[in-house]
Structure 1
Amino acid sequence: MTHQSQTAAGKQNPAARRQFMKNSAVALAGCALPAINFAQTAPAVDRQFSPKPAEWRTFEVTTRVDIAKPQGATRLWLPVPSINSEWQQSLESSYSSNGSARMEDDNATGARMLFVDFAADQAKPFVELTSRIRTRSRAQDWSLKTAVAEDAATLKYWTQPTDLLPLDGIVRTTAQEATRGAKTDVEKVQKIYDWIVTNTYREPKVRGCGEGDIKTMLETNNLGGKCADLNALFVGLCRAAGVPARDVYGLRVAPSAFGYRELGGNSASLKGAQHCRAEVYLKGYGWVGMDPADVAKVMRQETPEWIKSASNPLVAPVNKGLFGGWEGNWMAYNVAHDVVLPQSKGPKLGFLMYPVAETATGRLDSYAPDDFKYQISAKELTA
């Protein structure tokens, strides 16, 4: 059995990634939660949602994977938090396994992961990964500008296309239409954020967090999805408009302090609590948090009835608060697209936010935790 403890800092990445990992600000929360009696939720009346930077909260997040039906040699990859910023500190990670385990870094994207290789005759492959992180809420003070600067190569990196975020064709056309009349980057981002909230919607039937194939979404005019779809579309449109932007992939680790059922996670069981957010870089403000996908989630799933307007008293404070901030009940793993898994026989990933495993029969379904046999839980640590 292997036991290991390592810091989450990992190896340094090339130019843009080095600067990003040094100065970045990035983060996460759940895609699907267990069914809850809607009668127990508060009615659609005015409610506060105003995250503000405050004291740090420390969480210990544990992922336990048991390969239920191993067939031949098995390989496993688990995302490890690697973000260090003014709103998250990725501390240390430890693991135990009956396979050969080691920490790996995807230097091209900055993603950090635990890689485990199991022998073909290992009857009951397992691994348990525990990571400690500190997190807190963030909120942008739009009245206060600072001399925040970012390396030019880093900013260029966050305006480039990826496999699922092309920036030409219908993506560029849509970005131009959405930002018509905007003169500053802040105005462009506000218009794109409003466009996402107005034109897209949360689709609960989408598996996992979605795939983030924004070109297909626009070409088919199928604008329903989950966080990896809607926030990816937000990021893609920002990049196409010339504004540096990135997805932030993570996990909701605790309930919301503001009473919103859909904006928190059940710490005892975080299967399906994966959630991606977004950041944009704005001159004078630096990296700013955004999450239009969670506005859509509140509109669609916070009450039994689908709320169609962002001005609804239940939705309005969320719509306002998630433009420039988010609640610190969420942990970020990484900001990586087009992830190549070491020693994998399968295709690269659009993003790394779920456990991934392969047996002799191929890649297992990361969106089926009960078949895959993994559990994720979080525990808040107090002094």
Structure 2
Amino acid sequence: MTLSRRNLIQAGCAALAAPAFLGRAWAAERRFAPQVEGWRSFEISTTITLPEASGVSRIWLPVPDVNSDYQRSGESSWTGNATVARIATDSSHGTRMLYAEFAADVAAPTLTLKSLVQTRNRAVDWTQTRVASEDAAVLQANLAPTSLLPVDGVVRDTARAAIGGATTDVDKVRAIYQWVVDNAFREPTTRGCGTGDIKTMLESKNLGGKCADLNAVFVGLCRAVGVPARDVYGLRLAPSAFGYKELGGNSASLKGAQHCRAEVFLQQYGWVAMDPADVLKVMRQETPEWIKDKTHPVAAPVASALFGGWEGNWVGWNNSHDLTLPNYSRPGKLPFLMYPQGENAAGRFDELAPDSFRYTIAARETTV
């Protein structure tokens, strides 16, 4: 068949237009709606192969230490040539971790930690209220300031402005969640998950960061207006079931998959899941263009679902701030324990550089 000049021009224009059309496919309506379903089982493996020994080497590895209606933390076991290896706790909170020590004459320190955990989705039903109970000491601890989460000064002033005339805890939390999504932003160049120094962020009015910054702002603002709240430090384990590439992890290689979430305690619902940081991550990184409007069809389902829920493709290590690592040779406390920690005679290892620290993390979903 012979093509006319007009047909050739039309065919050429269609070919040029196709990539632009395909490139906009991400703008279509998306779905993100985790529902409380059955449990998923995972085995998490962390392997440490330290650089050339320099005196005594010590490492501290987070293990699943959350037991709740969304997570069952199982046993942890380890192999390797550590001189000492045991489950230890920090003296301030009782947070569990694996502590291992390698004598100076161990030429190639190595250790593999395997931890079992079961997880499931969370989704609060806002139409069903109840009288929730929690230990008074736990609630008080989750209203208190920490080294990086003060609840006075600029934090309290910002929180009061954010909630406006809200009087109920639910309305206060909703207003703060929206304030964080509207005013903060994901900053991809931030190292690791950020530091969570919310006073500096609010004073500088630079509200860019990653999850340990953004969810910390949310937690601090909630505490400042009397709503118990806490960060939960953890790790993404598997891809999202809803196709959001930024809301899951590559199970075979979880370096850089650390992610902290947040919870608030509401008297009518108990501990409720929150994650404004992941809303901001989707808005900044899920599509080729930075989404600036939370009602965008890609962002809107996530913004809705993460106010009261999250997907169970993630493990929570712990929810502790200002930890004291057992046998740590240097002064000061650790703001949070989400990454492997280590040191030897030459100094601290950089937990945000797994290739020089030489650690790998992987997860395997099991049927048990």
Q: Is the 8 A contact 1:110 1:335 kept in 2?
A: no
Q: CA deviation at 1:201?
A: 0.3
Which of these residues, 151, 159, 164, is aligned with residue 167 of structure 1?
Answer: 151
Which residue number corresponds to residue 267 of structure 1?
Answer: 251
Looking at CA atoms only, which structure, 1 or 2, has the larger radius of gyration? 2
Counterpart of 1:80, as a letter, is V
Q: Which runs of 5+ in 1 are unaligned?
A: 1-38
Counterpart of 2:160, as a letter, is Q
Which residue number corresponds to residue 77 of structure 1?
Answer: 60
Q: CA deviation at 1:69?
A: 2.8
Which of these residues, 113, 117, 123, is aligned with residue 97 of structure 2?
Answer: 113
Q: Is the 8 A contact 2:211 2:261 kept in 1?
A: yes
**Is 1:370 matched up with 2:328?**
no
Query: Matched residues in 2 for 1:164 and 1:272: separation?
Result: 22
Deviations 1:242-263 (A, max 9, x none): 0000000000000000000000
Query: Matched residues in 2 for 1:330 and 1:124: separation?
Result: 32
Which residue number corresponds to residue 30 of structure 1?
Answer: none
Q: Is the 8 A contact 1:77 1:116 kept in 2?
A: yes
Which of these residues, 288, 307, 327, is aligned with residue 343 of structure 1?
Answer: 327
Which of these residues, 50, 57, 82, is aligned with residue 67 of structure 1?
Answer: 50
Q: Once the two structures are aligned, what percentage of the paired residues are identical?
A: 60
Q: Which runs of 4+ in 1 moved over 6 A?
A: none
Aligned length in residues: 345
Which shifted more, 110-119 or 296-305?
110-119
SS where residue 60 of structure 1 aligns?
strand
The alpha-carbon distance between structure 1 residues 380 and 40, as it changes in their structure 2 partners (threshold 3 A), is farther
TM-score by length of 1: 0.88
Q: CA deviation at 1:110?
A: 3.5
Which of these residues, 133, 140, 150, is aligned with residue 149 of structure 1?
Answer: 133
Deviations 1:217-241 (A, max 9, x none): 0111110000000000100000001
Query: Matched residues in 2 for 1:257 and 1:108: separation?
Result: 37
SS where residue 43 of structure 1 aligns?
helix
Deviations 1:314-365 (A, max 9, x none): 0000000000000000000000100110111223110000000001011110
Query: Matched residues in 2 for 1:107 and 1:186: separation?
Result: 34
Which shifted more, 64-73 or 280-289?
64-73
SS where residue 26 of structure 2 aligns?
coil
Deviations 1:95-119 (A, max 9, x none): 0121110110124223210001111
**Is 1:191 matched up with 2:161?**
no
TM-score by length of 2: 0.92
Which residue number corresponds to residue 57 of structure 1?
Answer: 40
Q: CA deviation at 1:143?
A: 0.3
Query: Matched residues in 1 for 2:135 and 2:105: separation?
Result: 49
Query: Matched residues in 1 for 2:52 and 2:36: separation?
Result: 45
SS where residue 123 of structure 1 aligns?
coil
Which residue number corresponds to residue 88 of structure 2?
Answer: 104
Query: Matched residues in 2 for 1:117 and 1:267: separation?
Result: 28
1:1-383 mapped onto 2 (5 Å cutoff): 43-99=26-82, 100-346=84-330, 347-382=332-367
Which shifted more, 285-294 or 142-151?
142-151
Q: Is the 8 A contact 2:91 2:324 kept in 1?
A: no
Q: CA deviation at 1:41?
A: 9.8
Q: Is the 8 A contact 1:54 1:136 kept in 2?
A: yes
Q: CA deviation at 1:70?
A: 2.2
